[in-house]
């Protein structure tokens, strides 16, 4: 079995004058992993991708793809990329754009297969200048996969896509990853990261602040949320009584809906149902990726402000 990492970033750092965009990133991604790169605007995601692809030179540190400098893997056609700044010639059709890129590779897919993978067959004859935002993203994806790469970088791949187009895109992406390919994608849609990534790497202020499975990342926000409907009147004393229940960390009420955050949901539920038998429509949920994202990135912002 080949144990050479698909991506290895070591001590990667990139500065632009007084601005540090990437600050000492160490990251190893194994072949076959689907990794989501998350972080607020300015966290360093796009710069990290540029450094990994050799499109920018690091101030310090090293980037390797399949154990070699990025340019070597790119020349072999092992790497595809769909970047925010990537542009297609507006006068060409989608099929012509894919064919142009295919001609630069040794063992590309056929144009028809690349178009099919990207769900672009029906827009193959349309000129790039006439494409909608979502169609343009699909065309760029076809260009990225025509080399039949082992590793694919995607920077905000579903930007400008509607809900149905996003679903279609990820269906085509599943076909790509089911063949054992490595994918790294940066996104602002946290639900995409939660659903499609094997692993989440979260960045803030140019550093990695979390690295693990979606479940592991969400687990950094302790406790669970309990929601219920109450027929009893809302009073200050009633809220105080909820806060005294075992495990309860916070309690809110909006209209007839009560929301509790508990560090011991089993104990809270037992005590809650005993003290408030009128409750109904009870829901118990784990914390979301959004909450983990806010907790981790806000913590890093606070640390940065204090340092």
Q: What's the CA gap between 30 and 48, in Å, rounded?
A: 17
**Does residue 130 lie within any of the structural domains?**
yes
**Does 207 share its domain with 255?**
no
The per-residue pLDDT for 302 is 45
Q: How many structural domains is the chain composed of?
A: 2
**Does residue 299 lie within any of the structural domains?**
no
**Does 253 share its domain with 132?**
no
Q: DSSP alpha helices (H): ranges in the chain?
A: 45-52, 70-75, 94-102, 111-117, 133-145, 163-177, 190-196, 214-218, 236-243, 265-275, 289-306
The per-residue pLDDT for 224 is 80
**Does 199 share its domain with 213?**
yes
Q: What is the DSSP string of 131-198?
A: --HHHHHHHHHHHHHTT--SEEEEESTTTT--HHHHHHHHHHHHHHHTTT-EEEEE-S-HHHHHHH-S
**Does residue 211 lie within any of the structural domains?**
yes
- Structure tokens, 18: 């007084």
Q: How many CB atoms lie within 10 A of CB 175?
A: 11
**Does residue 293 lie within any of the structural domains?**
no
**Does residue 136 lie within any of the structural domains?**
yes
Residues in contact with 251: Cβ distance below 8 Å, sequence separation at least 6, in sequence order: 239, 242, 243, 258, 259, 260, 261
**Does 190 share its domain with 269?**
no
Residues in contact with 189: Cβ distance below 8 Å, sequence separation at least 6, in sequence order: 158, 166
CATH number assigned to the domain comprising residue 54: 3.40.50.300
**Does residue 208 lie within any of the structural domains?**
yes
**Does residue 303 lie within any of the structural domains?**
no
Of 168, 186, 218, the residue at which a domain comes to its end is 218
Of 218, 244, 272, the residue at which a domain comes to its end is 218
DSSP classification of residue 199: E
Question: Would you give per-residue pLDDT tens digits along the chain (307 residues)?
Answer: 568 999 999 999 999 999 999 999 999 999 999 999 998 888 999 999 999 999 999 999 999 999 999 999 999 999 999 987 778 999 999 999 999 999 999 899 999 999 999 999 999 999 999 999 889 999 999 999 999 999 999 998 988 888 888 888 898 888 888 888 999 999 888 888 889 999 999 998 999 989 999 888 877 665 688 999 988 888 888 888 899 999 888 888 888 899 988 888 889 999 999 988 889 999 987 766 777 777 777 755 544 433 2
The per-residue pLDDT for 290 is 73
**Does 210 share its domain with 179?**
yes
The per-residue pLDDT for 222 is 59
**Does 65 share its domain with 200?**
yes
Q: How many CB atoms lie within 10 A of CB 14?
A: 22
**Does 154 share its domain with 15?**
yes
**Does 229 share its domain with 207?**
no
CATH number assigned to the domain comprising residue 265: 3.30.70.100
**Does 172 share its domain with 233?**
no
Domain that holds residue 266: 224-286
The per-residue pLDDT for 65 is 97
3-class DSSP string for 61-80? EEEEECCECHHHHHHCCCEE
Of 193, 218, 243, the residue at which a domain comes to its end is 218
**Does 175 share its domain with 230?**
no
Please name which of 21, 122, 139 lies closest in space to residue 86, comparing C-alpha atoms: 139
**Does 33 share its domain with 150?**
yes
Determine the 3-state secondary structure of 201 from DSSP. strand
Determine the 3-state secondary structure of 282 from DSSP. strand
**Does residue 297 lie within any of the structural domains?**
no
Q: What's the CA gap between 286 and 12, in Å, rounded?
A: 34
Q: What's the CA gap between 37 and 39, in Å, rounded?
A: 7
**Does 61 share its domain with 199?**
yes
């Amino acid at each position: 079995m080949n144990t050479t990492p698909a991506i290895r970033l070591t001590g990667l750092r990139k500065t632009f004058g007084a601005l540090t965009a990437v600050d000492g990133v160490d990251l190893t991604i194994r072949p076959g992993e689907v990794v989501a790169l998350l972080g607020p605007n300015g966290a360093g995601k796009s710069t990290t991708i540029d450094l990994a692809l050799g499109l920018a030179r690091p101030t310090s540190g090293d980037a390797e793809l399949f154990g070699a400098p990025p340019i070597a893997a790119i020349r072999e056609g092992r790497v595809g990329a769909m970047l925010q700044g990537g542009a297609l010639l507006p006068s060409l059709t989608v099929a012509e754009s894919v064919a142009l890129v295919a001609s630069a590779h040794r063992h590309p897919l056929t144009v028809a297969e690349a178009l099919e993978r990207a769900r672009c067959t029906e827009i193959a004859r349309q000129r790039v200048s006439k494409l909608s935002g979502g169609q343009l993203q699909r065309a760029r994806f076809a260009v990225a996969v025509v080399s039949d790469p082992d590793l694919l970088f995607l920077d905000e791949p579903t930007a400008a896509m509607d809900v149905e187009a996003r679903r279609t895109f990820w269906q085509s992406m599943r076909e790509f990853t089911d063949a054992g390919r490595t994918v790294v994608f940066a996104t602002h849609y946290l639900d995409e990261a939660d659903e499609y990534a094997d692993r989440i790497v979260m960045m803030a202020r140019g550093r990695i602040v979390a690295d693990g499975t979606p479940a592991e990342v969400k687990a950094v926000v302790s406790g669970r949320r309990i929601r219920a409907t109450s027929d009893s009147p809302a009073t200050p004393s009633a809220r105080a009584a909820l806060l005294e229940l075992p495990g309860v960390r916070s309690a809110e009420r909006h209209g007839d809906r009560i929301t509790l955050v508990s560090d011991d949901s089993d104990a809270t539920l037992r005590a809650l149902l005993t003290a408030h038998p009128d409750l109904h429509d009870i829901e118990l949920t784990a914390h979301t990726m959004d909450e983990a994202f806010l907790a981790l990135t806000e913590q890093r912002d606070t640390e940065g402000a204090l340092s």
